Amino acid sequence: MAEKAAKFTFQLLPGKQFISIDGKEAQDSLMKWGMKGRIKAQVFSFDQEFQGYQKDDFVLAFFKDPVVLGNLNVLSSSDKWVPLGTEAQSVTAQPVPCTQVSMVFFDRLVDEGIIRESGQIMKCFDDYYDDITVSDELRKMLLIEDSDNYEAYSSAERDEFLFRIFKHICLGGQVCQYEDEVKPYLDMTKNIYKDLVSVQKDPSTKELKVVSQVLQVTASNDSGMHYPCDSEHVQTFAYLIIDPIKRHVTTFYHRFGGGVF
């Protein structure tokens, strides 16, 4: 009988800092947007070659690994960072397209009249979506499907990791002071994307190409979903960003809520 392939195992890379999230300027912005103390990125190494078709086995192994269970931080219902602890019985791993390499992707916000040439965000009458106040055309485009500008980006474009980061940053936390201009959101999006995603130059075309593979993930046991949280919200999310060359996997996590610390 052929020997069974070794399972993925993981080691925490301690002390890894993400300036885009952990730096002082970033923390000041996250405080304003109600996300400080509720968002985190961590890096683990893994010991086996990763191929895309192994995504489900990889994610299940990740959420069963004792090193991960003891070191992957999650925000508890009492707003305390604690180790995940609970082993998964099942997981979901949704592939997230990650092809964008330029912030030109967001130029059409001006073309569509969502943002003024000056960078000012156009205001609108208040609307509400999932405990989020929608008071401008940017958040309206991001959340309200029957809004005039919702189709400024196609479904495929909205699925892109770069767009998802932008959306998460723009929507913020439960206690959020929204910006009047788009630049702070674009700057934070660019910095996080550069921190989380690995790129290489294609030797044949000389163009930059993303080598990371991104998965939006959940983990569940007999009691139901426990990661990223036991309840769903558009602003509660968890992604695994896999660098198959370095054999690193980065978690990008946020739990929606009102606590700031």
Residue ranges of domains in the chain:
10-97+211-254, 103-199
**Which residues, in sequence order, are bridge partners of residue 252?**
41, 239
Quick: pLDDT tens for 181-213.
999 999 999 999 999 999 998 888 888 899 999
Residue with tokens 């994307």: 193
Q: State residue 96's pLDDT score.
A: 98
Q: State residue 258's pLDDT score.
A: 74
pLDDT band with cut points at 50, 70 and 90 for residue 247: very high
Q: Which residues, at least 6 apart from 223, have a Cβ–Cβ distance to it below 8 Å?
A: none
Q: Are 174 and 131 in contact (CB under 8 A)?
A: yes
CA-based nearest residue to 182, from 195, 167, 197, 162: 167
pLDDT band with cut points at 50, 70 and 90 for residue 259: low
3-state class (DSSP) for residue 179? coil
pLDDT higher for 163 or 2?
Answer: 163
Question: Is 90 exceeded by the pLDDT of residue 15?
Answer: no
3-state class (DSSP) for residue 195? helix
Q: State residue 241's pLDDT score.
A: 98
C-alpha distances out from residue 71 to 12, 66, 121, Å: 7, 9, 40
Q: Sort strands 199-201 and 248-254 into parallel, antiparallel or unpaired.
A: unpaired
Alpha-helical segments (H) within 72-230: 108-111, 137-143, 155-159, 161-171, 183-196
Quick: pLDDT tens for 70-109.
999 999 989 999 999 999 999 999 999 999 999 999 999 9
Surface-to-core class of residue 59, CB atoms within 10 Å of its CB (0-12 exposed, 13-18 middle, 19+ buried): buried
Quick: pLDDT tens for 26-75.
999 999 999 999 999 999 999 999 999 999 999 999 999 999 999 999 99
Quick: pLDDT tens for 112-159.
999 999 999 999 998 888 888 899 999 999 999 999 999 999 999 999
pLDDT band with cut points at 50, 70 and 90 for residue 1: very low
Quick one: which H or E segment has residue 240?
strand 237-243
Rounded Cα distance, 33 and 194, in Å: 21
Confidence (pTM): 0.94
pLDDT band with cut points at 50, 70 and 90 for residue 2: very low
Q: State residue 257's pLDDT score.
A: 86
Quick: pLDDT tens for 205-229.
888 899 999 999 999 999 999 999 9
The identity of residue 38, as a single letter, is: R
